[in-house]
């Protein structure tokens, strides 16, 4: 499996352990599932610390607050075991 790097913590892991964010046509960053094309950014899926706005600023700049909120909202939507 290919390795990727988290844009927040710079940790290298298998691609399947990340959430991939891609830009939509309107310029917003979204978490995409399944096959995707174009550039994207990877964030640790199991580490909410990587979703903090401050850690995302390097990769997303002014859009970091929106990306952080998107990731946090997504985590509340996930079913709990």
pLDDT per 10-residue tile (average), the chain, 81 residues:
94 94 87 78 94 94 93 69 43
CA distance 81 to 64: 29
CA distance 13 to 43: 10
Q: Is 81 helix (H, G, I), strand (E, B) or coil?
A: coil
| pLDDT computed for residue 58 by the predictor | 92
Helix-then-strand count for the chain, H and E: 2, 5
Q: List Cβ neighbours of 18 (8 Å cut-off, separation of 6 or more).
A: 4, 6, 42, 43, 44, 45
């Amino acid at each position: 499996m290919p390795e990727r790097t988290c844009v927040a913590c710079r940790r290298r892991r298998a691609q399947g352990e990340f959430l991939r964010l891609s830009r939509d046509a309107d310029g917003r960053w979204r978490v995409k599932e399944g096959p995707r094309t174009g550039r994207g950014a990877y964030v640790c899926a199991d580490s909410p610390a990587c979703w903090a706005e401050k850690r995302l600023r390097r990769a997303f700049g002014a859009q970091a607050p929106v990306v952080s909120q998107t990731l946090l909202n997504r985590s509340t939507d996930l079913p709990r075991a």
